[in-house]
Amino acid sequence: MSGSLASVSTRVGQLCRAKLFEDIRASGRDVVSAYVESPTFGGNSWLAHISFLSGFEVRDEDADALLMAQQRDTLVTTFARRGYRTVAVMPGLQQSWPEGAFYHFDDIYDEKRLNYHGPEFGWWAIPDQFALAKMDALEVGRRPRAPLFAFLPTTSTHTPFSPTAPYQPDWARILTNRPYDDREIRQVWLDVPDWLNLGPSYVKAISYAYRSLGGYLRLRADRDLVMILIGDHQPPAAVSGEGATWEVPVHVIGRNASVLQRLIANGFLRGLRPEHPALTRMHAVVPIVLGAFGDAEKTERPSAS
């Protein structure tokens, strides 16, 4: 990536992060952040998922298969014992998922069950904003219900990162059979990925993910939720550059000042700009996050990761 283009992409990224922070604050919440070291780089995201959800570091397929053959506590079972309903919202899941039996989710929503009828963008069919809206309709908005723990791996930031779906301000419309105007669809479909320079496409995809998450936080400003955002791995070296670290950000968003203060006491920083080096490895951040909740879950219920 040329120096001038890199500086433009960096500036766009800064503006999008600032917009997400504005959305967080407008929803009555605050955020703390840190870097953690992912067990994988540029792909194999399921190794990061199992490391974070299990609290065990998993860096290869053999370790992944070995761990899943065991009976282990996970974040899912930990919340389930506290009376939470646990669900996985998996917009990229198109086939059987044996890992679900290891995690012991109460329910799993794959691509078919999410039932998206809009246009496809990028590698996967379902845009992040639709996945968030559908999760809200199926689970968050259900009344009465138990407290909810939801795991949602976003898909719009998957290589090749484009075309990126347009953001739809009307969240009710995103669930219909015509979520976008034809003009919007034609415009984004003209954005063909440049396989020799994926940096700009990556920035657009991240920007869309931030916009969708920030929009959801505003939409559900009435909900007493905690949102944990964690990067599963760095993008491929074609985007992240030669010699890039394996460090990824983790952000914890919520209203409970005691929870956020405990995280700060353990090395998190207030805001959306963590500092290097990494606080710890991805699997090791799990007890830090759980410890920060403590008894606060009685008044603030962690809802989505």
What are the pLDDT tens digits along the chain (305 aa)?
A: 333 334 434 555 677 889 999 999 999 999 999 999 999 998 889 999 999 999 999 999 999 899 988 888 999 999 999 999 999 999 998 888 888 889 999 999 999 999 999 998 877 789 999 999 999 999 998 889 999 999 999 998 888 888 899 999 999 999 999 999 999 999 988 888 788 888 888 888 999 999 999 999 999 999 989 999 999 999 888 888 888 999 999 999 999 999 999 999 999 999 999 999 999 999 999 999 999 987 544 434 444 44
Structure confidence at residue 217 (pLDDT): 97
Please count the structural domains in the chain: 1
pLDDT at 17: 87
Q: Which helix (H) or strand (E) holds 32?
A: strand 30-37
pTM of the model: 0.90
Quote the pLDDT of residue 10.
Answer: 57
- Residue partners of 176: CB distance under 8 A and separation at least 6: none
Residue-level pLDDT at 193:
78
Say what the pLDDT of residue 13 is: 61
Place of tokens 């699997």: 283
14: CB partners within 8 A, 6+ apart: none
Contact 229, 213 (CB under 8 A): yes
Q: Return the sign of the alpha-carbon dihedral for residues 170, 300, 278, 105.
A: negative
Q: How far is CA 130 from the centre of its chain?
A: 14
Q: What CATH number does the domain containing 94 carry?
A: 3.40.720.10
Q: Which of 31, 87, 74 is nearest to 303 (CA)?
A: 87
- Domain with 209 in it: 3-304
| Strand boundaries in 126-276, DSSP class E | 148-151, 225-230, 247-254, 269-270
Element (H, E) at 30: strand 30-37
